[in-house]
Amino acid sequence: MLDHGGNLDLALQRFGGRLEEWIDLSTGINRQPYPLPNLEPRHWNALPSRADIESLHEAAREAYGTRAPIVALAGAQAAIQLLPRLWPPGRMRILAPSYNEYTAVLRAAGWDVAEVTTLAALADADLAIVVNPNNPDGQRNDPGDLLALQAHVGRLVVDESFADAASELSLAAEAGRPGLLILRSFGKFYGLAGVRLGFALGSEADVSALAALAGPWPVSGIAIAIGRCALLDRDWAAATSARLLHDAQRLDTLVQAQDWTMVGDTPLFRLYDVGDAVAAQAQLGAARIWSRIFNERPGWLRLGLPGNETEWARLAAALVR
Amino acid sequence: MLDHGGNLDLALQRFGGRLEEWIDLSTGINRQPYPLPNLEPRHWNALPSRADIESLHEAAREAYGTRAPIVALAGAQAAIQLLPRLWPPGRMRILAPSYNEYTAVLRAAGWDVAEVTTLAALADADLAIVVNPNNPDGQRNDPGDLLALQAHVGRLVVDESFADAASELSLAAEAGRPGLLILRSFGKFYGLAGVRLGFALGSEADVSALAALAGPWPVSGIAIAIGRCALLDRDWAAATSARLLHDAQRLDTLVQAQDWTMVGDTPLFRLYDVGDAVAAQAQLGAARIWSRIFNERPGWLRLGLPGNETEWARLAAALVR
């Protein structure tokens, strides 16, 4: 198992307390989730129908601003797990530091994997991977630069898991071009990571192959019902984007009194260099606030956004100890 | 897309009506589902934790009567999709007729696939597959015979998707032996196919490999919460098994007036030879009752069990037209 945010097991093990006491800021999951719509018995009981799945696809195309072939999967992670089955092994290069599953999954499947630190260094890869905006360092890449890069690589995967509130970065409108595959996460922006829903947008060939590999019922009836409703609610999305941008600045203001430097940001989380991240995580952990640190970067602490005033107050109190 | 039961889209297309009017007897999904337990916000919002997944595994071991390595997946189908990644391609033989996804998935992955009609003809396969009890013809194989077969094949996959109410057939207690992999479905017996949950039980090596291929969050938080609760409720399982056996006999009695012959059965469905299955499906379809027929067997009609007295009455009326 790789290290991930959201691992509250570890928080409890290390710092005690009951699960309900903890505020989990270790992920980039929105803590003001989309309100659950009414669910019909058939969403629980029956196998999802093709018509239901197609209507979810249509809602996702609407939300992401694309007419491209699309397939719903059980989270962006489910798409990552399938990447090695799409193409024969070759040279994979990823703009790093980034989400650690890409390297692990492709290496396990026999790919020649390396991390690079500039877009230019991705050129000539059989498979280039860019998370945009990036997790954990928030790096943003201009969509035009990514399109230019695409001409110089075999395939380009752009992971837009954190792009919902930064839609100017999205290449979804360009999806459908051969060699470009875009992954979207539903659970982060909509605050429903437990539902397991994500999408892959790409060429007809890649999307059909992913759909075949995922099988006839790739997502749950619940995920379909909730996803369709949430993705079509563009007012909620606009209001949430605005709130996240506001709250992210509020977090930056709150931590100004600390001796922390901003390393990078997305609207769903901040990455700070805090000097001694283990100590900072312990200070927050003593107040039952969980954060994400990174073995290979001893100064880095990633913080998601509190979800309500109680959580903001607890974070403020934890920081002044 | 292969042909499957549960495809109400097709029923509506062909016979009209509104979705809610239809009684779907085209699958073996129990129409008296397990009552939904209370779900906490974290089951929707948060990434499933390792502790949650482990407690689901423990509940499944308890329900299936095994101490073997186990992994939760998004339905038995999700396990089928992963089979080609577990082992290098070779000779796959399946006891047929059976669930059509095995043949399709393994053939697509380059396996030499053939259907056979006796257990003995599975010998010498690199991978032998038996659905027990079988879908759609209800054929039962003695667990001892399957264990004996296992010595003569490379690997044996036993799909026990319909074994919950026929636990005397299950090899779950033997899981853990190298070369034996058992698949279990949650959604059929518990009537919650939309939740997408199933399990693979097997050797440490196979189960670890499946877990790695499925990734860190293989099932939803909802599936974990519901699955854990339902699988530990052995009283409900015992009462449901008894009811299904009773209702299955009730169905046999009901259709006695028809010129139908029983081909086979499991506690969750019956397979009849009705002569002209297209006509019988149309007769039931006119009454908004959906059934499963099989292109390659023009006489076969598979019927699940009605879920309440209204449904029984509608089925009785549809049959006397």
Q: How many residues does chain A have?
A: 321
Q: How far apart are the first and last CA of chain B?
A: 33
Q: What was the pLDDT predicted at B158?
A: 98
Question: Which is it for the CA torsion B149, B150, B153, B158, positive or negative?
Answer: positive
- Residues B76-108 have pLDDT tens digits of 999 999 999 999 999 999 999 999 999 999 999
- Chain A partners within 8 Å of B6 (Cβ): 46-47, 49
How far, in Å, are A80, A162, A164, A321, B234 from residue A29 at the CA level? 19, 9, 12, 26, 36
Q: What was the pLDDT predicted at B121?
A: 98
Q: How far is B119 from chain A (nearest CA, A)?
A: 28
- Of B108, B187, B216, nearest to A4 by CB-CB distance is B216
- Residues B282-297 have pLDDT tens digits of 999 999 999 999 999 9
- Residues B34-53 have pLDDT tens digits of 999 999 999 999 999 999 99
Q: B127-131 and B91-95: which strand pairing?
A: parallel
Q: How far is B120 from chain A (nearest CA, A)?
A: 30
- What's the pLDDT band for B70 if we cut at 50, 70, 90? very high
Q: Which of B220, B268, B311 to mutate to test the interface with A (most CBs of A within 10 A)?
A: B220
Q: How many whole angstroms separate alpha carbon B279 and alpha carbon A55?
A: 31
How far, in Å, are A39, A82, A112, B110 from residue A89 at the CA level? 42, 13, 8, 17
Q: Does A85 touch chain B (CB under 8 A)?
A: yes
- Subunit contact A193:B47, Cβ cutoff 8 A: yes
Strand ranges, E, within B228-287 = 261-266, 269-273
Name residues 233-292 of chain B within 8 A of A (Cβ): none
- Subunit contact B219:A196, Cβ cutoff 8 A: yes
Q: How many whole angstroms separate alpha carbon B222 and alpha carbon B227?
A: 8
Q: What was the pLDDT predicted at A137?
A: 96
For chain A, helix (H) and strand (E) counts, in that order, are: 11, 13
- Residues B215-266 have pLDDT tens digits of 999 999 999 999 999 999 999 999 999 999 999 999 999 999 999 999 999 9
Contact B319, B254 (CB under 8 A): yes
Specify the DSSP element, H or E, that contains B206. helix B204-214
Q: How many whole angstroms separate alpha carbon A250 and alpha carbon A189?
A: 18
- Subunit contact B74:A75, Cβ cutoff 8 A: no
Q: How many whole angstroms separate alpha carbon A110 and alpha carbon A158?
A: 21
Strand ranges, E, within A125-170 = 127-131, 155-159
- Residues B266-284 have pLDDT tens digits of 999 999 999 999 999 999 9
Closest CA to B60 of B170, B186, B249: B186
Q: Is pLDDT of B1 > 80?
A: no
Q: What was the pLDDT predicted at B2?
A: 85
Q: What was the pLDDT predicted at A2?
A: 85
- Subunit contact A1:B33, Cβ cutoff 8 A: no
Q: Which residue has the tokens 């990823």?
A: A94
- What's the pLDDT band for B28 if we cut at 50, 70, 90? very high
Q: What was the pLDDT predicted at A76?
A: 97
Q: Does B100 touch chain A (CB under 8 A)?
A: no
Question: Which is it for the CA torsion A263, A7, B225, A288, positive or negative?
Answer: negative
Q: How many whole angstroms separate alpha carbon A180 and alpha carbon A154?
A: 9
3-state secondary structure of A22: coil
Taking chain A (321 residues) in runs of 10, the rounded mean pLDDT of each run is 89 95 97 97 96 97 98 98 97 96 97 98 98 97 98 98 97 97 98 98 98 97 98 98 97 94 96 97 98 96 98 97 70
pTM exceeding the 0.95 threshold for the entire prediction:
yes
Q: How far is B79 from chain A (nearest CA, A)?
A: 10
Contact A137, A264 (CB under 8 A): yes
Residue B181's DSSP bridge partners are B157
Query: Could you give the residue ranges of the DSSP H alpha helices within A67-220?
Result: 76-86, 101-108, 143-150, 204-214
Q: Does A104 touch chain B (CB under 8 A)?
A: no
Q: How many whole angstroms separate alpha carbon B299 and alpha carbon B292?
A: 11
Q: How many whole angstroms separate alpha carbon A289 and alpha carbon B287?
A: 58
Query: Could you give the residue ranges of the DSSP H alpha helices within chain A?
Result: 8-15, 41-45, 50-64, 76-86, 101-108, 143-150, 204-214, 221-232, 234-254, 277-286, 309-319
Q: What was the pLDDT predicted at B166?
A: 96
Q: Does B38 touch chain A (CB under 8 A)?
A: no
Q: Does A192 touch chain B (CB under 8 A)?
A: yes
Q: B70-73 and B198-201: which strand pairing?
A: antiparallel
Q: How many CA atoms lie within 13 A of A16 on its CB side?
A: 2
- Subunit contact B216:A1, Cβ cutoff 8 A: yes
3-state secondary structure of B113: strand
Q: Does B45 touch chain A (CB under 8 A)?
A: yes
Q: Which of A82, A196, A219, A229 to mutate to test the interface with B (most CBs of B within 10 A)?
A: A196
Q: How many CA atoms lie within 13 A of B184 on its CB side?
A: 30
Q: B180-185 and B155-159: which strand pairing?
A: parallel
Contact B169, B140 (CB under 8 A): yes
Q: Which of A220, A228, A268, A305 to mutate to test the interface with B (most CBs of B within 10 A)?
A: A220
Residue B294's DSSP bridge partners are B297
How far, in Å, are B142, B148, B158 from residue B167 at the CA level? 11, 19, 13
Q: How many residues does chain B have?
A: 321
- Subunit contact B4:A33, Cβ cutoff 8 A: no
One-letter amino acid at B86 equals L
Q: Does B227 touch chain A (CB under 8 A)?
A: no
